[in-house]
Chain A
Amino acid sequence: MTRVVVVGAGPAAHRFVECLHRRGHRDPVVMLGAERRPPYNRMLLASVLAGALPAEAVTLPDLPAGVEAYRSATVTSIDRATRTVHLDDGRRFRYDALVLATGARAVVPRVPGIRWRGGLSPQVRPLRTLDSCVALGPGPVCVLGGGVLGVEAALALRRAGHRVTLVHRHPYPVNRHLDAAAGTLLARHLADRGVDVRLEREAVRYDEGLLVLRDGETVAANTLLLCAGARPRVELARAAGLAVAGGIVVDDRLRTDDPHVYAIGDCARYGRESGGGVARAWAQAETLAALLTGGRRRYEPVPAVVRLRDPELSVVALDRPRPRAADGRAETVTFTDPAGRRHAALEVLAGRIVRGVLYGLPQATAAATQLFDRDLPLPADRLALLLGTPPRTGTGDLPDDAVVCFCNTVTRAGIVAAWRRGCRDRAALGEATRAGTGCGTCVAEVDRICERLGAEPARGPATETGRLLAVGSGVTP
């Protein structure tokens, strides 16, 4: 009998116990969560905060029968010798396998005035938990941090009618995932929607209702929403003497340096992988559930798909874990449309996307994300993929009136006419039309026209048919 104890009740823990059950694990499972709510989906918190979604709407599906789940149950220490966890209220639970899924907590910037009496000033809220998403009071809101979260929150709050300022330290929002071109478009979108965007600014002080920036400027902030990133919650693991380095260090079996202790989700650190996200949390939860039920799986870093959740925006950043050396060999495919506010930049290795940013290209985003997810090669005509148009091929005829030879203004029609009169190669065509006799640049195109005409069903005199076919052999029409 294996008694599994899970610390944490976020998406990682939730998915883990669900998979464990689905895989037939019927031994005792205990889930200990510090929050007073049942597990919920954090991704939709901005909408809850803005009042667009009721709190209940984000609750995750019920846990499988048999899972002993405790709420408001905070684990304060791990006794690895006795394989026991201790709770703040004195309860204790013994484990055979301990799964740490303690997630992350919002970063609270070290700005005087934000902390108050050992906690946070009442007007300051980190955007991380459902409890922090109760309705906002009146007055202007300042969102501190222009990452994915900050941008989503700013737009949602603005849509709900709040006055919103977004303060971000970098030259453009979501700089961790976007390139400058997409980030700049995003900043313009925010401004258009009425968000007051302050870039390359840093907060130095918070005085009730007022955020002071380094350059002395002040931002009205009856509410200060912290979106300055999240940090893995590692204190429990560290106190228990487990290896910690930017997260609880795990191997490809999600195991810490104690064979009875595992870590998954935002709190775990595998290799060079950094940053959290539900896709990663889910992949780790599923892998660990498989391993604990006798499977042979190994965890492999998942490709990251970061989307901005906003009804008016189509923004995605793709990133596949890969050896650093690969970057120098990647091809770069870019599409820029400043006026139309569209942008794409893809890095392609062996025909497949390894990294990418797409902005304002919903159709291309859907197609590219699919290919990325399934690690499939891009089609040859990447422009068509990005524009969502039918792919072109490398063959086809120019329009008849297209000028082929610029030196002598010879059109395709002129060359075709000469061909029909019997000029069957570059030299003969050149003599008849002067095409290709100037700078010589167009001879390749003249050759191509010849080749394609050769492949065309003969329209010339019947006696010439044999020659036509000979020229055209091997060329597909």
Chain B
Amino acid sequence: MTRTLVLIGHGMVGKRLIEALRAGEHGNDWRVVALAEEARPAYDRTLLSSYLTGGDAERSALLTPSVPDDPAVRLMLGTPAVRVKPGRRVVHAAGGERVGYDALVFATGARPFVPPVPGHDRPGCFAYRTLDDAERVRRAARPGRPAVVVGGGVLGLEAAAALRALGMRVHLVERSDRLMAAQLDAAAARVLAAFVAGLGVRVHHATTVASVDGGPGGAVRGVTFAGGATLPAGLIVFAAGVRPRDELATAAGLTVAPRGGIAVDDRCRTADPHIWAIGDCAAVHGRCYGLVNPGYRMAEVVAAQLLGRGGKTFTGSDASVRLKVMGADVASFGDAHARTPGAVEFAQLDRAAGRYAKLVLAADGRTLLGGILAGDARAYPTLRAMLGRELTIMPPGLLAGAASGR
């Protein structure tokens, strides 16, 4: 008998769930109804910046993602779910349609966090999450004019790079004393900051935007920093983090983790046996990942359960990240901050060359636990593959003399 899976959200992870499910099925055990808020099928969100900086071909590839023509999958674009009734196992879609389910999966992703400073919603302020956001930013960009990016994390740097490529004079505001604070240590952040500054992006460390100021008509005219200094700017991009979209689940009475995200176990199950959550919206044992790979792992774990092969669990995924913007090559993987008890750190910094590499090893000095690369992250794929294993190869980037890569 065919059962119905309702998927809320057709983002990168939701799409992956459908693929995994369809690839593992022999017959047509499942019929899938996917409710998508966005007007287009899932696209590669990680390429948002190339949408801004790339050519027409890249743009149209992103704008018109392809989904396989599959009679077992009904994709309802531009039709967000507005209500979930677990007791009746039914989902209300915008427009009034009600869809019953045997299994329900939340893949609603995350929304950008916009700090509630006065003026944050003035015309000229943008978030950085969807293609529509990117399109708005593209239209508002004015070469030669100043722009402010709020947030010095991965997203903020990407946005800054994109605005720079659009010819704007970019100011990046980071609350802490280092860029990519979640992923980098102080030395790597300095290498990155020097590089970014060299490209003409002005980085404002250890300060926040206290207000967004308007000109005639209310449009953005500039920002005021916490210290009182002001900066003229006609375009503001908020990239100050994301928050899991758990509101629909909350309204349905599902448990939400203390720091947000739909609470699930290592099989991505909520307390309701018919409901799962995966991707950016899910908090596995309290933790939200906010990255594609962990989301994919979760999608696979849930697909296995829907196919009756329930053994797979999500064992956590490290938040490995490689950022390649404006030619700055930065990566952070595994236990980058050496939080494992007994962990040792080995680091090489070449200030003149703008290159830094750090390895985190277990107490035995052999097992690779993580690391940070800045200025040259070519060793990243090799090192990441060696995570948790004895470091038997020293990637050229970490060997003196070979460092220049010649």
Chain A residues proximal to chain B, CB less than 8 Å: 328-337, 339-340, 342, 348, 351, 378-384, 386-387, 389, 391-399, 402-404, 406-407, 409, 412, 438-439, 441-445, 448
Contacts and interface: CB of A to CB of B under 8 A. Distances in A.
B345 A334 contact: yes
Given A331-B349, A439-B292, A448 B394 contact: no
B394 A336 contact: no
B380 interface: yes
A394 B402 contact: yes
A328 B351 contact: yes
9 interchain residue pairs of minimum CB distance: A445-B381, A392-B394, A337-B344, A394-B396, A396-B393, A380-B399, A332-B349, A442-B381, A339-B342
A404 B352 CA distance: 32
Interface of B: 46, 292-293, 296, 300, 320, 322, 341-352, 359, 363, 365-366, 378, 380-382, 384-386, 389, 391-396, 398-402
A398 B365 contact: no
A391 B394 CA distance: 9
B394 A333 contact: no
Contact of A404 (B346, B378, B385): B385
Given A394-B393, A396-B392, A412-B385, A406 B320 contact: yes
Contacts of A443: 381
B71 to A, nearest CB: 24
Contact of B382 (A389, A398, A406, A439): A398
B394 A394 contact: yes
Contacts of B396: 394
B399 A394 contact: yes
Contact of B386 (A339, A381, A398): A398
A333 B341 CA distance: 22
A322 to B, nearest CB: 15
5 contacts: A339-B342, A340-B344, A380-B399, A396-B393, A402-B389
A441 B380 contact: yes
Contacts of A382: 346, 348, 400
A402 B385 contact: yes
Given A394-B393, A444-B378, 4 more contacts: A333-B348, A334-B349, A335-B344, A382-B346
Contacts, number: 125
A332 B392 contact: no
Contact of A407 (B292, B341, B344, B385): B292
B351 A329 contact: yes
A351 B401 contact: yes
B393 A331 contact: no
A403 to B, nearest CB: 6
Given A339-B342, A380-B400, A380-B401, A404 B381 contact: yes
A334 B347 contact: yes
Contact of A340 (B293, B363, B394, B398): B363
Given A394-B393, A394-B402, A442-B385, A387 B365 contact: yes
A351 B400 contact: yes
Contacts of B359: 383
Contacts of B342: 339-340
Contacts of A439: 46, 292-293
B129 to A, nearest CB: 18
Contacts of B350: 331
A402 B385 CA distance: 6
Nearest to B402: A394
A389 B352 contact: no
A441 B386 contact: no
B57 to A, nearest CB: 17
Contacts of A340: 342, 344, 363
Contacts of B351: 328-332
Nearest to B366: A389
B79 to A, nearest CB: 28
B391 A392 contact: yes
Q: Which of A329, A391, A445 has the most CB of B within 10 A?
A: A445
B286 to A, nearest CB: 23
Contacts of A383: 346, 359, 365, 394, 398
Contact of B346 (A330, A334, A412, A444): A334
Q: Which of B381, B382, B386 has the most CB of A within 10 A?
A: B381
A442 B396 CA distance: 16
Contacts of B395: 394
Contact of B393 (A348, A393, A438): A393
B392 A392 contact: yes
A25 to B, nearest CB: 46
A439 B385 CA distance: 15
Nearest to B353: A331
Contacts of B400: 331, 348, 351, 378-380, 382
Contacts of A441: 322, 380-381, 384
A333 B349 CA distance: 6
A381 B402 CA distance: 10
B208 to A, nearest CB: 30
A402 B367 CA distance: 13
A381 B352 contact: no
Contacts of A348: 400
Q: Which of A386, A392, A394, A403 has the most CB of B within 10 A?
A: A394
A383 B343 CA distance: 14
B339 to A, nearest CB: 12
A332 B324 CA distance: 24
A399 B386 CA distance: 8
A403 B344 CA distance: 23
A381 B365 contact: no
A373 B123 CA distance: 66
A398 B394 contact: no
Nearest to B344: A337
Contacts of A335: 344-347
A378 B399 CA distance: 11
Contact of B385 (A331, A339, A403): A403
B289 to A, nearest CB: 13
